[in-house]
Amino acid sequence: MMSKIRKSLSISSFAIGAVAGIYLAVAEVPLLSTAYAKETTEVSPVRARPRDTYYPNSEDLAPDEMRVIACGTGMPTTRAAQAAACFLVELGNGDKFLFDIGSGSAERISSLQIPYNYLDKVFIGHLHTDHFGALHDLFIGGALMGRNVPLRVWGPSGATPELGTAYALDHMQKMLTWDLAGRAGNVDFRGYRMDVTEFDFKGENQVVYEENGVTIRSFPAIHSIDGSVSYSLEWNGLKFVFSSDTYPNTWFNKYARDADLVVHECFIAVPELVSKMGFTPESALLVGTQVHTAPEAFGKVMSEIKPRMAVAYHFFKDYDTTPAVYDRIRKTYDGPLSLAEDYMVWNVTKDDIRVRLAEVDHHTWAPPAAAPAEPPKPEDKTAMARKLGVDTIDFSEFTKSGFWNVDDVLRPIYEEASEVLGQEFPYPEKQ
């Protein structure tokens, strides 16, 4: 009997030991029997065969389908192979949601070639940089790449106002004052706005978003200090759960039940925290078991809530660290499992969960805009000056005194554009 859970490349890198199968073991089906379950396809010297890789912008999303893509699965420390926490959920109704947006994840997101107006909803689980450190990249870079609607962000409150999402993102926008002032009047400025919704971190299964048949709920997580949450997303009879970071807790056990896909943190095993990260044993034990969820504890959580697919993330997935994480999870959990890495893709429907890796183009440019861009407006610059309490944010006489006149080579560029595009583009003469 075939399992409904198909191939999982998450196990393929664990191809050491006696069994080098690339098929996923599920509780009721022994690994060896599923390893032979390859579908036969016609072999021809001239006809293409089906491929088992996800190529972004090459597959339609079915009306009843949820597609989840890992845009960051790593640790709080940066590495080229894995960005920090970020999971994209795409729904067959056209809605897309980002859960956490950790350092380095904006590049992964851009590789998916999704028009940026569709990437306008971000849910932050907590305010560690490995969970929101790329937000300003999406805010500014996303607008530059075609987002002309505000970026909407949701996140929890903290024990004091200063520890909440609204405070953090208000100050992030203040940090970007120079950046924003310099862009006003030069680009379509409509996308350089952030709408922030802060909700009570103590809310238990509280609805924080409900639109277009999609309900997103938050429940408290236990991590670092007060002010961390986990999320569930329900749509069309499918349920996705994202832990962000948390120690195992009773809220998760209660509200992550009946989920199809559950993404939960699973930290690197304690011995590797010592040998690879240079932690003292005392610190490794604390961070690896008390601050974060140890692999054995991850397994225990999954055995409790029994998702259709458990996804472990938040460890550096190398050939020599994966076996320990896997073995330790398997001490306490024998159900469907994906050990996440960046660009892992889950296609979820009511009767199938397909797990693959994406192969992406690393040399991407801006995807097409979902709504036409407007030319820059001088009023945006005036409004910015007013906000800063000055007459103008144009260059000062001092800076202007340093201009070297190269109008002779720049004016022909305007003339060329005017001629080619059949529209007059007046050269901005320097006074």
Residue whose C-beta lies closest to Zn ion:
128
Q: Per CB under 5 A, which region of 170-178, 179-187, 237-245, 408-416 contacts Zn ion?
A: 237-245
Closer residue to Zn ion, CB minimum distance, 148 or 244:
244
Q: How far is the C-alpha of 122 from the C-alpha of 171, rounded, in Å?
A: 17
Least distance to Zn ion, CB of residue 88, Å: 17
Closer residue to Zn ion, CB minimum distance, 128 or 308:
128
Q: How far is the C-alpha of 411 from the C-alpha of 394, rounded, in Å?
A: 21
Closer residue to Zn ion, CB minimum distance, 90 or 130:
130
Q: How far is the C-alpha of 100 from the C-alpha of 27, rounded, in Å?
A: 30
Least distance to Zn ion, CB of residue 215, Å: 25
Least distance to Zn ion, CB of residue 56, Å: 25
Instruction: Give the interface size with Zn ion as a residue count (CB under 5 A).
Output: 3
The sheet with strand 337-339 has its strands ordered as: 206-211, 214-220, 229-235, 238-242, 261-265, 309-313, 337-339
Give the containing element (helix H, strand E) for 283. Answer: helix 281-285
Q: Per CB under 5 A, which region of 113-121, 166-174, 238-246, 364-372 contacts Zn ion?
A: 238-246
Q: Is 239 in the site for Zn ion (CB under 5 A)?
A: no
CB-based contact 252:307 (threshold 8 Å): no
Least distance to Zn ion, CB of residue 276, Å: 17
Give the containing element (helix H, strand E) for 330. Answer: helix 322-330
Q: How far is the C-alpha of 231 from the C-alpha of 241, rounded, in Å?
A: 6
Among 65, 100, 120, 245, binds Zn ion (CB under 5 A): 245
Least distance to Zn ion, CB of residue 84, Å: 7
Contact positions with Zn ion (CB under 5 A) in 130-149: 130
Q: Per CB under 5 A, which region of 124-132, 146-154, 246-254, 343-351 contacts Zn ion?
A: 124-132
Closer residue to Zn ion, CB minimum distance, 130 or 272:
130
Least distance to Zn ion, CB of residue 291, Å: 8
Closer residue to Zn ion, CB minimum distance, 67 or 128:
128
Closer residue to Zn ion, CB minimum distance, 260 or 265:
265
CB-based contact 246:222 (threshold 8 Å): yes
Q: How far is the C-alpha of 143 from the C-alpha of 140, rounded, in Å?
A: 5
Rounded to whole angstroms, what are the CA distances from 60 to 91, 94, 237, 261, 291? 11, 11, 20, 20, 40
Among 6, 96, 121, 128, binds Zn ion (CB under 5 A): 128
The radius of gyration of the chain from alpha carbons, rounded to an integer in Å, stands at: 24
184 Cβ contact partners less than 8 Å away, ≥ 6 residues apart: 192, 380, 381, 383, 384, 393
Least distance to Zn ion, CB of residue 268, Å: 12
Site for Zn ion, rule CB under 5 A: 128, 130, 245
